[in-house]
Amino acid sequence: MKLAVIYDSKTGNTRQAAEWIAEGMNGTGNAEARAFSIHDADEDFVRECAGVVIGSPSYAAQLTPDLHAWMLASAKKLAFAGKLAGAFATEQFTHGGAESVIQSILTMEMVNGMLCYSGGGAFGMPVIHLGPVGVNGNVEKHNGMERYRDNFIVFGQRFAKKAAEISGNG
Ligand SMILES: Cc1cc2nc3c(=O)[nH]c(=O)nc-3n(C[C@H](O)[C@H](O)[C@H](O)COP(=O)(O)O)c2cc1C
């Protein structure tokens, strides 16, 4: 079962989050997961995926303009409809808009006929609400993302298990 984690990233935080999600997916032993920037997504691979997770940095509490344009241009050609979907975000500050970013991505995914999944509270700790968030700035001076690593990995595991279940690859 193929899964893709697709992101926009200028300074590497969202790319790092995407790589952790893919690591969690691959760790289930039941997924071939790859992380792609919107600038170098393997389109054949994405079309064949059972699930796609999309992430963005918070830019003024919005997804990036590049990711927004990429989603508008790609949904049909990458056959998003019917796939399991998830969303994640990174931000510099607590309450820096990541939840709004995730909601916008989820909305675009639903408009394109995707089946959105977060794991939610179903599995207990860590409780992932709409999707995993990494805060890089005001938590620690250096590498603030590291403390969110487990959330991204666990989200990847939960997403891969659900994708396997609903696509008959379980
Ligand atoms: C133009 C711009 C706007 C930003 N706006 C916000 C914001 O509203 N809230 C916030 O917490 N961080 C904001 N940031 C910081 C980024 O969201 C944060 O550093 C993010 O992790 C960067 O992701 P990247 O390393 O994948 O590019 C902004 C950064 C840029 C460049």
Write out pLDDT tens, residues 5-43.
Answer: 999 999 999 999 999 999 999 999 999 999 999 999 999
- Residue 139's pLDDT is 59
How much distance in Å is there from the Cα of 137 to the middle of ligand 1?
9
Give DSSP secondary structure letters for 55-68.
EEE-BTTB--HHHH
What's the pTM? 0.96
- Residue 140's pLDDT is 53
CB 55 near ligand 1, within 6 Å: no
Chain mean pLDDT for the chain? 94
CB 125 near ligand 1, within 6 Å: no
Domain that holds residue 27: 2-167
- Residue 141's pLDDT is 57
Return the sign of the alpha-carbon dihedral for residues 71, 76, 77, 82: positive
CB 92 near ligand 1, within 6 Å: yes
CATH number of the domain within which 116 lies: 3.40.50.360
Question: pLDDT category, 170, cuts 50, 70, 90?
Answer: low
Contact (Cβ atoms closer than 8 angstroms) between residue 81 and residue 47 = no
Rounded to an integer, what distance in angstroms lies between the CA atom of residue 136 and that of residue 74? Answer: 29
Nearest atom within ligand 1 for CA of residue 15: 26
How much distance in Å is there from the Cα of 60 to the middle of ligand 1?
7
Rounded to an integer, what distance in angstroms lies between the CA atom of residue 9 and that of residue 13? Answer: 7
Helices 149-167/13-27 angle, 10° precision: 50
How much distance in Å is there from the Cα of 25 to the middle of ligand 1?
26
Write out pLDDT tens, residues 107-157.
Answer: 999 999 999 999 888 898 999 999 999 998 865 555 678 889 999 999 999
Mean pLDDT, rounded, for 75-91: 97
How much distance in Å is there from the Cα of 58 to the middle of ligand 1?
5
CB 59 near ligand 1, within 6 Å: yes
How is residue 133 written in tokens?
A: 């968030």
| Residue with CA nearest ligand 1 atom 7 | 60
Mean pLDDT, rounded, for 156-168: 95
| Residue with CA nearest ligand 1 atom 1 | 59
How is residue 122 written in tokens?
A: 């179903």
CB 10 near ligand 1, within 6 Å: yes
The answer, yes or no, to whether residue 58 has pLDDT greater than 80, is: yes
Task: Indicate the number of domains in the chain.
Answer: 1
Mean pLDDT, rounded, for 65-75: 97
